[in-house]
Structure 1
C-alpha cells in the first residue's frame, strides 16, 4: 500500500432484486447525462420483467433469469402483454394484446444493455438475452400497378406539357 492512501475494499450490495439493479443502472446513466426518455425505457423494461416474473410465479431476482426465462419473456411480450396497460389516457380499444415487433426488439436491446451493466457490476455472470434473437418485422406487401393500369396512367399524360412530360419520363 502506498503511503498516504487508505485501502478501499469494494463490497457488493448483496441484493439481486431487478428493481434495485435497474435503479443502479439508471443512476449510472444519469451520471452519463443520458436523456430521461432512455431512463424511462430502462424502467419500463424493468416493470415488464417484473410483471412477467410475477405471472409465472418467480420472484423478480436477476439470478432467476436464464435463457428459457428470456425466451418465455419475449413470447409473453409478443402474445400476452397488454399494450398500453396502466396508461391513464388510452382508450380500452387501444389496449390490445401483444406488443409490436419493434417494441419487443427495443425491449430486448434495453435488457441486453441492462445485463451488460449487471455483469460489469458483478450482479450477474452472463447475459441470457444475448441468446435471444430479435423479432423479424413482417413486411407488408407492396401493391404494384398492373401493366394495364400503368399503360392507362402513361397514356393519360400530355407529353407536350413540360410537367406531364417530366412525370412521364420519371415513370418509364
Structure 2
C-alpha cells in the first residue's frame, strides 16, 4: 500500500500532467503561453480541490484555470460551493465553442443565500471576454435547492453574455 505522502505525490504528478495537456487548445497545436506563477497557482489550486472534492477536480482539469488573487484558496472553495449548488459554470462558459485557453477569477465572494458575485476573465482563442461581476446576484434564481441562471444571461455562440 502507498503511504499518504506517496499518494499525494502521485496526485500532484497527475495534476501536472493534466494541467500540461489542458494547455493545448482544440484545433490548435500551439500551447497556450502562461506565466510560471499562474502555472504554480493552478497546480496548488487543483491540488486543494482534489483534497476537497475529487469529482470537482476532474471537472476543473478540463480548463486551464488560474486564480489571480492573493487568497486563491478562497476562490477555489467558492468554485467548490458553486459546483455543489449545481450552478452550471461549464454551461455558460461553453468551453468547446469559445476554445478557452485560460480562465481567471478576479473576485469570488459569497454574498448570502440569494446569490454570488464573481468577476471572470475568459481568455479564448478569438479574444478575451470579461464577464464583469458575472454571474451577478440578480442573474440567479433559486429553484428548490438548486441555483439556476436566468436564460437571458446565458452566453450565445459568439461567447458574449446577453
Q: Compute the TM-score of the two structures, normalised by the length of structure 1.
A: 0.24
Which structure features the higher share of strand residues? 2
Q: Compute the TM-score of the two structures, normalised by the length of structure 2.
A: 0.25
- Bigger CA radius of gyration: 1
